[in-house]
Every structure is written in structure tokens, then in C-alpha cells.
Homo-oligomer: A and B are copies of this chain.
């Protein structure tokens, strides 16, 4: 297919007849699956920002075929580490990454990989977050 070889997958047209409620429900299901815990108490205090988060990142992007959840979390951890200053989200997505099948060792390898593109400080900060996440999980705590 021509558009595929041009890296432009998708028709670029809205999905026919789909309502916003359906999109929201799809997003809520996907977000719950990725977070591994009920997400309502996380999104409720955010108001419409919470709604957009359910709808766009989870209802639209994460719900697309063509890239596995594991691949998405690899990309997510790498970006959050390299950009720096996004520790709360790094914490959430390290849990997500473990939920969708990445191992602690793979997360460690991924942090090492960011050294090449973003240097040592952000990697060391991410490793500290990973340590916290793993010890919380070892002690049985489940949270976003």
C-alpha cells in the first residue's frame, strides 16, 4: 500500500459514526490496562484534562494497532528519562512498563541506553525512580 511505504499509515479521516462516549470508554479501558490499577481517582481531580488524557493518549493513540504496548512503554520510558524533570510520570510508566511485560532488567538496560542520547544526569535520576518503583512493588504496594 502506497501510503504505508511513505510512513503515513491511516486514512487521515475521522472514524465514521463513532461517538465521544465510545472513545472515552475505549480510552478508560486501555488506560486501566496500562496503569494496572483503577484510574478514576487519578483522572477525576484533573477535570477536563483528565478527560482529554483518557480520550487522546489512551482512547486514540495507545488504542491504535501497529505498535505493541511493550514497544510503547519502551518509547515512553526513554522519552521521560531523556527530557528530565518528569519524575511523577516516569514513576507511573515504570509501573506500566512492568505491567505490560517489560522486566526490571530491561528497564535497567533502557536507562543505560539513554546515556548515549541524553547523558548521565537524567539516567541516574531515572535509575533512582526505578529503584523506588521496584521496592514499592516488592513490598506489595500497587498504585499510580
Contacts and interface: CB of A to CB of B under 8 A. Distances in A.
- Chain A contact residues (Cβ within 8 angstroms of B): what range? 35 or more
Interface of A: 3-21, 23-24, 43-53, 55-57, 60-61, 64, 66-67, 71-72, 74-86, 88-89, 103-125, 127, 130-131, 134-135, 138
Contacts of A122: 86
A14 B23 contact: yes
B118 A83 contact: yes
Q: Does more than half of chain A's interface fall in helix, strand or loop, or is it mixed? A: helix
Contacts of A76: 78, 113, 116-117
Interface centre among A13, A18, A78 (most CB of B within 10 A): A78
Given A113-B67, A119-B116, A46 B130 contact: no
Nearest to A58: B116
A105 B7 contact: yes
A108 B46 CA distance: 10
